Amino acid sequence: MKYKSCHWIESGINFDIDSYKVCCLYSAKGGGNTIVQDNYKGEPVDWNKLFEFKEMMREMHKRGETYPKCEGCIYLVEQDWPDEHNKINMINLDYWTKCNSRCSYCHTMLDKERYNKFKNYNFLPILKDMIRRDILRPNGHVSFGGGEVTLLKEFDTLLHMFMDAGFPLTRVHSSCIKYSKAVERGLKEGLVDLIVSVDSGSKEMHKKIKQVNSYNKVWNNLKRYASHQKDPYAVKSKYIVIPGVNDNKEELVLWLKKSKECGINCVYHEIESKWFYARRDNVPDEIIDLFNYTKEKAEEMGLKYVLYERAEHMMEYKHEKEVSV
């Protein structure tokens, strides 16, 4: 049967520091943040509750309504969806906050000390529970976000488990200040995608945004990772545009050049969250032009240019607006 849905509704779950959700997105006009269980501290997951929640969303969409938090989400598409429900093959992991960087735009900067000391729950028992109950299907993808992944105690064990279980792709977001041999293995075998937000090309801008002296370490580690990638597009350098801080062409071109120099073939472009959420429908033309300019420059240099999640919504909303006038 044809109805509106997304891969997260069909077969995904997101583990956050104090909740589990259908997905990890906030970009849609409806706000995302699809919480199923709040005040969560790693107790056994109530799978029936999760699957009933998903069924409720599906039923709404089959009636032609939209689950309010999914309103305007570009990942909600009308098509034939698989009949098999109550299985999970997409996992997003965001359940820790400890980090070795201090990005100016990060929510953890509100109270860095508390977030760095915050004791997260463990995911390994949950993963074992999924396997025991035959809920896990290793044919989708896993994504590690959260704080800095290489500081998460169970990261190596989990990543090796996902790779050994046959997950075709695990996405790792890292500050890249610390090098990981587990990530290196994933890159060598074509099973890992690495995304590093550098947000700058120059040392000065890097310091201003990251608020730690990590410029050389990050780019050297990126270069080392890129030298191991089986898939030439697996290592991605990302630039989050923070209007008023790094929204200038020179910095963007420096970033593209630096990425290229380090053997990176794919760049991700994103817009800062707080700024975007405050003006989803009202993004000034200068920002749109800056994204279009960067795309053109990246392609001139032979780099694969990809809009990241919020930027993808931003460009789509702009396009919709232009079409409707």
CA distances to 14, 260, 265 from 226, in Å: 28, 10, 9
* CB distance 5 to 58 below 8 Å: yes
| Smallest gap from residue 165 Cβ to ligand SF4 (A) | 24
- Placement of tokens 């005040």 in the chain: 39
| Smallest gap from residue 300 Cβ to ligand SF4 (A) | 29
Residue 267 near ligand SF4 by CB under 6 A:
no
Instruction: CB nearer to ligand SF4: give 218 or 264.
Output: 218
Instruction: CB nearer to ligand SF4: give 11 or 101.
Output: 101
Number of residues interacting with ligand SF4: please give it, by CB under 6 A. Answer: 23
Site for ligand SF4, residues 28 to 57, rule: CB under 6 A = 28, 32, 34
How would DSSP label each residue in 137-161? EEEEEEEE-SS-GGGSTTHHHHHHH
| Smallest gap from residue 44 Cβ to ligand SF4 (A) | 23
Residue 41's Cβ-side half-sphere holds a number of Cα atoms within 13 Å equal to: 3
Q: Are strands 2-5 and 77-80 parallel, antiparallel or unpaired?
A: antiparallel
Backbone region of residue 160 per phi and psi (left: phi > 0; alpha: psi in -120 to 50; beta: other values)? alpha
| Smallest gap from residue 249 Cβ to ligand SF4 (A) | 24
* CB distance 94 to 146 below 8 Å: yes
| Smallest gap from residue 226 Cβ to ligand SF4 (A) | 19
Name the residue among 272, 266, 221 with its Cα closest to residue 245: 272
Amino acid, res. 255: W
Considering only the stretches 1-9, 38-46, 260-268, 298-306, report the one whose residues sit in contact with ligand SF4 under the rule CB under 6 A.
Answer: 1-9
Long-range CB contacts (< 8 A, 24+ apart) of 111-120? 115/147, 116/147, 118/17, 120/17, 120/95, 120/96, 120/152
Among 13, 22, 191, 256, binds ligand SF4 (CB under 6 A): 22
Instruction: CB nearer to ligand SF4: give 8 or 123.
Output: 8
Site for ligand SF4, residues 96 to 125, rule: CB under 6 A = 99, 101-103, 106, 108
Instruction: CB nearer to ligand SF4: give 106 or 130.
Output: 106
Token duo for residue 284: 């000034």
Instruction: CB nearer to ligand SF4: give 81 or 297.
Output: 81
Token duo for residue 86: 């109550």
Site for ligand SF4, residues 55 to 84, rule: CB under 6 A = 69-70, 73, 75-76
| Smallest gap from residue 153 Cβ to ligand SF4 (A) | 16
Instruction: CB nearer to ligand SF4: give 178 or 295.
Output: 178
Residue 175 near ligand SF4 by CB under 6 A:
yes
Name the residue among 298, 217, 228 with its Cα closest to residue 263: 228
Instruction: CB nearer to ligand SF4: give 22 or 298.
Output: 22
Site for ligand SF4, residues 134 to 153, rule: CB under 6 A = 147-148
Token duo for residue 104: 């100016």
Instruction: Enumerate binding residues for ligand SF4 (CB under 6 A).
Output: 6, 8-9, 22-23, 25, 28, 32, 34, 69-70, 73, 75-76, 99, 101-103, 106, 108, 147-148, 175
